[in-house]
Chains A and B, each alone.
Chain A
Amino acid sequence: MGVTVDVPPGVLKKARREWDEAAENLDGQWRRLHRVDTGGLSSEVVVAFERYRETWVDELKADHRKAVRFHEALEGVDADFTVTDTQEAERLRDLLPWRYRNATITDSP
């Protein structure tokens, strides 16, 4: 069964950038949550807050890691597409007349 992958290069790049931004944002948030000062609270309240904080720091870290993985996966796909396109373009250039032998192959926007 075939799978159709129809992604304009611009869309792929945009998605890659957005997942990267999401990852960066979440990285900042788990660190921020981790640093919340518990001074001025009783020991019982601090224990409860730390339990709460630990859960959601871990969750934000996991969400951050996921966003990083999606970003990296898209980056890989984008790179593969670029390599494939470049190889195809080189093959096409080889079929062209001699005067095009040094034509530049560029990535699409």
Chain B
Amino acid sequence: MGGGLPPLIGAIPEMECIPAAAKRIARRLRTIHENVDEVTTWADKRSADGAGWTGDAAEASDHTSTRYARRIAATGAALYAGIEAAHDFESDLEALDKERTELDTARITLNDEIRAAAAPPVTAPALPGGTLSQLLPGGASPMPLLLDPFLATQLTLRQIALSSAIRTWGENVTAAEERFIAALAAVDTYGEGAAAVDEVEYTANLGAHVDNKLDDLVKKGVLPADVAAMTPEQLREYLIDHPETAALLLRPGPTANNKDGTLDSIIEDAKENIGTAQDLFDTLSPRDAALIALLYPDEVGNMDGAPFPVRADANLVGVIDALDRTEYALAQDPSGDFRTELEDSRALYQSIITNDRQIILFDEGHQRIAELHGTIDANTKNVGVLVPGTFSDISNFQVVADRSQSFVDADYSGGLAMISWQGGEFPPSLIEAASKGYADDLAPKLASFSEVVQAEIDHSGAGPDTRTTYAGHSYGGAVVGLAETYGLQADRVLHIESAGMGQHVDDPSDLPASQDNVDRYSMTDEDDFISLVQGAPGGHGADPDTFDGTTRLATGLDKDGDPIVGLSHSHSAVFQEGSEPWENMFQTFTGGTVTTFDPSEAIVLKGDSPHIDEDSDLGKQKVDID
């Protein structure tokens, strides 16, 4: 940027393909497809009912009709694929056309500003021999006598950004055309059309299998006769009012245990791996996906690769059932802590049902639960996963859920989604928190769950720049740390009042190569008793605050700017909304700017005796997270 003005941006080329053309093709193909489909249906029906022929003639007629129906179905499938491709192309072109208009408006505005900056600030007196332009070589525009260098730089930067956006737009136009061409090329031979038939039939058959399943459950009296006319939303409401039906769907006894065989095996296959489940739910219509979730709650609720909203639909059935059993237990008039736990669980389940909360993992028997706060979609920029610590179970899940929700509520951009994860049993006491057994069980599950979260992000349309942060509080820190040894798929890891980096994780060389690019942050309040055990021999691995490469964050002040104090209080007071540590967590989850720990304020509890580290003079610093 040498201080000169940038060149004007030339006209943006018109799009060669226009949305109306794609729309016209889709409409024409649809008409042709409907007519061809009529012939296919007729030929299929002839072969199915024999068309009134008997004997050898019937066999010949049936054979002819079947072959003819199959032959012409290939054309139908190719036409259908063409319709879908043209529709997609039309949508792409409409969006690109809109973008072009916006870019062109921005271009005209910027060019006007560049011209204005280039114009002489005052009207120049007439020159002998003509205007200034006429006197300049080649009739070039005159440069102002006094050019504001700041304005010139600003205009240059905008010109570069806009030129880049226009280039990207042009590339997107080409990409849209290439997608359409590829979609047509995929069905431009008879063989490809015939292959497409199988795909279309598979999709159609899935819907039929769902309907068969519904019919079967109606026949057995599990579901009401009018279920066929219900929307998935109405069926959900019905199950809320009829928990006994929810129980039957979860645990089908001899009465309801006659599932549609094909659908049953398709769902079993989908449980095998993430990709198979994603393919299944990509194929299903939204209605069929929601119905499968409600009719197969036990299978779909925790199915890796099933979209999170579908998992939430399925787990609602589990929660309805759990609420019913909890109310039954409370009706037995229990006392003491057990009663309190049941009441807390009941409040949680009621809140989930009433507020349509998204429970993406639920297994009451094994104390497994996870909730998605916000949504993971094309607008998502960051996904945070918060793992709580000792004492966590389903009855107090609301605590971690509220903490996660506070971060989502604070993010006005809507780009942050949080997940509260309690994927198993946590130590029920401080004595048991010394045990590594719970972390041994939880860590591989968390690592596996991180793969599912990444798959959901990748499949949701969120861009490749979406970042994940795994944060563990207290014992949860040791779980997150140990999960790294299992290849936790994280961009950032945050230890909050953490018990340690995980068993046998003493320095970065103890972590697999997959963790090389993970950014690590840690915060421990000076007063927190946990600093006594961090890095202790035989404990939960290295001290996260001093682990090589970790950025230690400030924790000192509450929301009013007063120090957070108290051996026990400070352990959880860091979650006070608006406090310095809460703000640091929020900035870590959203990839913002964190405030680092000031060693000069440190009361060092580790070592011989508590003391203030007065040697340090680094002070707090602001650090941008990538």
**A residues whose Cβ falls under 8 Å from a Cβ of B:** 3-8, 10-11, 14-15, 18, 22, 25-26, 28-29, 32-33, 36-45, 48-49, 51-52, 55-56, 59-60, 63, 66-67, 70
Contacts and interface: CB of A to CB of B under 8 A. Distances in A.
Given A32-B31, A36-B25, A42-B17, A6 B54 contact: yes
Interface stretch (B188-196, B225-233, B258-266, B455-463): B188-196
B247 to A, nearest CB: 52
A52 B289 CA distance: 33
- Secondary structure at chain A's binding surface: helix, strand, loop or mixed? helix
B486 interface: no
Contacts of A42: 16-17, 177
A47 to B, nearest CB: 8
A52 B39 contact: no
Interface stretch (B74-82, B333-341, B409-417, B580-588): B74-82
Contacts of A10: 52
A82 B55 CA distance: 20
11 contacts: A3-B56, A6-B54, A6-B55, A7-B57, A8-B52, A15-B46, A18-B46, A29-B35, A32-B31, A48-B181, A67-B68
Contacts of A38: 21, 25
B18 interface: yes
Contact of B78 (A7, A44, A56): A56
Contacts of A3: 56
A44 B24 contact: no
A67 B42 CA distance: 12
B189 A55 contact: yes
Contact of B24 (A18, A33, A37): A37
A60 B185 contact: no
Given A11-B52, A22-B39, A48-B181, A59 B75 contact: yes
Contact of B29 (A36, A43, A48, A70): A36
Contacts of A49: 25, 184
Contacts of B64: 70
Contacts of A41: 16-18, 21-22
Given A29-B32, A56-B78, A60-B36, A15 B51 contact: yes
A8 B81 CA distance: 41
B206 to A, nearest CB: 26
A52 B61 contact: no
Interface of B: 16-18, 20-22, 24-25, 28-29, 31-32, 35-36, 38-39, 42-43, 46, 51-58, 61, 64, 68, 71-72, 74-75, 78-79, 82, 177, 180-181, 184-185, 187-190, 193
Given A42-B17, A59-B190, 10 more contacts: A26-B39, A32-B31, A40-B17, A45-B177, A45-B181, A52-B78, A60-B36, A60-B75, A63-B39, A63-B71
Contacts of B190: 55, 59
B39 A48 contact: no
Nearest to A15: B51
A55 B186 CA distance: 12
B42 A18 contact: yes
A70 to B, nearest CB: 7
A82 B551 CA distance: 97
Nearest to B176: A45
Given A42-B177, A70-B64, A26 B57 contact: no
B36 A11 contact: no
A6 B28 CA distance: 42
Contacts of A59: 74-75, 190, 193
Contacts, number: 120
- Secondary structure at chain B's binding surface: helix, strand, loop or mixed? helix
In the complex, the 8 A-B pairs of residues with the closest C-beta atoms, listed nearest first: A40-B21, A42-B16, A4-B55, A11-B52, A48-B181, A6-B55, A52-B184, A40-B18
B185 A48 contact: yes
Given A5-B56, A41-B21, A45-B181, A55 B35 contact: no
A45 B184 CA distance: 9
A4 B57 contact: yes
B203 to A, nearest CB: 21
Contacts of B24: 36-37, 40
Contacts of A63: 39, 68, 71-72, 75
Contact of A55 (B51, B61, B188): B188
A43 to B, nearest CB: 8
A42 B174 CA distance: 10
A33 B57 contact: no
B187 A52 contact: yes
A109 to B, nearest CB: 14
A25 B35 contact: yes
Contact of A4 (B51, B56, B181): B56
A1 to B, nearest CB: 10
A39 B21 contact: yes
Contact of B52 (A14, A22, A36, A39): A14
Nearest to B61: A15
Nearest to B16: A42
Contacts of A39: 21
Contacts of A67: 39, 68
Nearest to A70: B64
A14 to B, nearest CB: 7
Contact of A52 (B31, B42, B57, B82): B82
Contacts of B57: 4-7
Contacts of B184: 48-49, 51-52
Contacts of A43: 16
B32 A32 contact: yes
Given A5-B56, A56-B193, A40 B20 contact: yes
Q: Which of B24, B74, B184 has the most CB of A within 10 A?
A: B184
B170 to A, nearest CB: 13
A32 B28 contact: yes
A66 B43 CA distance: 13
A42 B16 CA distance: 5
B80 to A, nearest CB: 11
